[in-house]
């Protein structure tokens, strides 16, 4: 089963593709601050569509929103999630929305793991020698969760 894992954001949106236990691709979609928000959403949608077309994943695993102190940021990230989920729906993909603590527990064994622990785990599990951004590492963790969700209790 191929999984597209997403750590949603409108400035930086992490993505990772896993096929079974193999990490196939990962990175970060970035949008310029100078662009109007609607254009940033369009750019994210275009990039997600390209990933779906290129890799043909079966499942979208997208991190659920957690409490944010800035409601404006939370609303914008919700819009990004909506665009991505719509793209997945159009591609007839299944969708799972794990909570951050579920992802961290499945990936590191600690539901309260910090960014450094997630990056370190990604490097250890997948032999990534280059430095990972936290957005890419988070997306790898989300894809890992999606790849293993059927085994998690």
114 is catalytic: no
What is the per-residue pLDDT across 91-130, written as a single tens digit (0 to 9) for each? 999 999 999 999 999 999 999 999 999 999 999 998 766 6
Which of 13, 22, 30 lies closest to 128 in space, CA to CA? 22
Report the alpha-carbon distance of residue 89 to residue 87 in Å, rounded. 5
* Contact of 108 with 121, CB cutoff 8 Å: yes
Burial 93-128 (b: 16+ CB within 10 A, else e): beebebebebbbbbbbeeeebeeebbbebbbeebeb
Which residue of the set 7, 47, 102, 138 is catalytic?
7
Which residue of the set 43, 102, 135, 138 is catalytic?
135
Tokens for 27, please give them.
Answer: 């990175």
Taking residues 3-21, what's their average pLDDT?
96
**Which pairing describes strands 94-96 and 2-7: parallel, antiparallel, or unpaired?**
unpaired
Tokens for 41, please give them.
Answer: 């959403």
138 is catalytic: no
Which of 31, 26, 63 lies closest to 44 in space, CA to CA? 31
**CATH at residue 23:** 3.30.420.10
Report the alpha-carbon distance of residue 6 to residue 110 in Å, rounded. 20
Report the alpha-carbon distance of residue 47 to residue 134 in Å, rounded. 19
Domain total of the chain: 1
47 is catalytic: no
What is the per-residue pLDDT across 51-102, written as a single tens digit (0 to 9) for each? 999 999 999 999 998 766 677 888 999 999 999 999 999 999 999 999 999 9
Domain of 54, in residue numbers: 2-151
Which residue of the set 47, 63, 102, 138 is catalytic?
63
| pTM of the complete model | 0.93
Q: What is the DSSP letter of 95?
A: E
Q: For a pLDDT cut of 70, what percent of the chain falls above it?
A: 93
For 78, half-sphere exposure in the C-beta direction (CA atoms, 13 angstrom radius) is: 9
């Amino acid at each position: 089963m191929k999984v597209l894992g997403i750590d949603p954001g409108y400035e930086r949106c992490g993505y990772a593709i896993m096929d079974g236990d193999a990490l196939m691709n990962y990175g970060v979609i970035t949008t310029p601050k100078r662009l109007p928000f609607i254009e940033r959403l369009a750019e994210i949608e275009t990039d997600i569509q390209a990933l779906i077309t290129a890799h043909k994943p079966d499942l979208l695993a997208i991190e659920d929103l957690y409490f944010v102190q800035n409601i404006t940021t939370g609303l914008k990230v919700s819009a990004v999630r909506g665009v991505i989920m719509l793209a997945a729906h159009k591609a007839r993909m299944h969708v799972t929305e794990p909570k951050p603590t579920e992802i961290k527990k499945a990936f590191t064994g600690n539901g309260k793991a910090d960014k450094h622990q997630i990056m370190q785990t990604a490097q250890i599990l997948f032999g990534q020698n280059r430095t990972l951004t936290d957005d890419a590492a988070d997306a790898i963790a989300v894809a890992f969760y999606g790849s293993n969700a059927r085994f998690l209790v």
